[in-house]
Structure formats: C-alpha cells, structure tokens
Structure 1
C-alpha cells in the first residue's frame, strides 16, 4: 500500500493482493520504522459510515471505508472512493482510496501486482 500526503490531501493506493486481503479481513496496514517511533498507515472498515473517514492518533493514520463498500470493491470495476471531511476548525481534508494501476512511463518500482492501466491500450 502506498500513501501520498500533500497538504490536506491523503491518498492510499492498493495493489491487487492488498485489495483482496482488505476485502477479506476488513483491515490492511503498512509501517515505517524511524529511529525511535513507528509510523503506521492503515485501512479499516467501519459500520454505519456513508463515506470515507479518517483519523490520526498515536502516530497512525487510519482511513475508514464503509463496511458496505468493502464487500463489493474487490470484485468490481470501481477504481476507488473519494470524500472530503471538515475538521472542527473548518479545515477540509481530502481523502482518496484507489486501486494501484501500472504506470505508463518507465519506473524501477515492482508493479507486477498492480492493476492493468486502462489507458495502456489506447
């Protein structure tokens, strides 16, 4: 799973295997170990939600997907989900969760488990 943070935008991208594990278990996480702390970013399902939601607590970013979406996302053509939440101070946080497609340009990154890019055959 990849995470991209730019300003008030958080974006998660998952490979085919990661989507499969998430859809089966309702949870997927990655960890980055620093000298004295571990940064965790995770995806979880949550009942009762209508849209993506997020939280940051104890060095962990948790992105929540509504339970009803998890049940069908892996086998569907739907690329992902997007939602903007507003903090108590009025700041907007844009959330994006999507399947990771292979890049169209050259990259040294292993993309063998990525979804085929729909633009590759155009």
Structure 2
C-alpha cells in the first residue's frame, strides 16, 4: 500500500500478479490515527461492476508473545476486563 499527495481517497492498481491499494495522503493520515480501524470503500470498475476495498489495521493479539506481535498496532482492548 502507498499514498499519493492528490487524487481520489482510495485507488486500486492491479496486474496479473500484483494488487496495490493507494491512499491519498490525507486518507493515510486519517487511517493512521488511533480511532480509525480501517479504510472501507466501493470503487466503480466499469462494466465489471464494483469492487469492495477493505484495508484494516493489524492489532496485536492479546494471547501471544511480544515477538508474535511485531509490526502491529496497539490493541484497543489491551488491559480491558470483562
């Protein structure tokens, strides 16, 4: 996934082996905030119909070691009690 200065909030580029989701810089900044879990949109792909795009944060698992949670977002339920 990458971001661009201007353009639509979400774009998709694809080839036979690659799918790239491209966010506008503002959309990427909004998504990176603590409160935004994901980016959800529907793109018109012409005569083929529509494409549902869903990109969500990878939250740390509460039942795994820190090594298993490398490169994850802090889990909002960490420290919560039932």
**TM-score for the superposition, normalised by structure 1:** 0.49
Which of the pair has the greater relative contact order for Cα pairs under 8 Å at 6+ separation? 1
Equivalent residue, structure 2, for 1:89 = 47
When Rg is computed on C-alpha atoms for both structures, the one with the higher figure is 2
1:63-82 residue pairs with structure 2 within 5 A?
A: 63-71=21-29, 73-74=31-32, 76-77=33-34, 78-82=36-40
> 1:32-81, CA deviations, whole angstroms, 9 ceiling, x for partnerless residues?
xxxxxxxxxxx1213221x322121252111010122234544x212221
1:55 pairs, out of 4, 13, 18, with: 13
Q: Which runs of 5+ in 2 are unaligned?
A: none
1:7-18 residue pairs with structure 2 within 5 A?
A: none
Superposed CA RMSD: 2.6
Q: Which runs of 5+ in 1 are unaligned?
A: 1-42
What is the count of residue pairs matched by the alignment?
77
Runs of 4 or more, structure 1, over 4 Å off, are 104-107
Higher strand share: 1
1:33-48 residue pairs with structure 2 within 5 A?
A: 43-46=1-4, 47-48=6-7
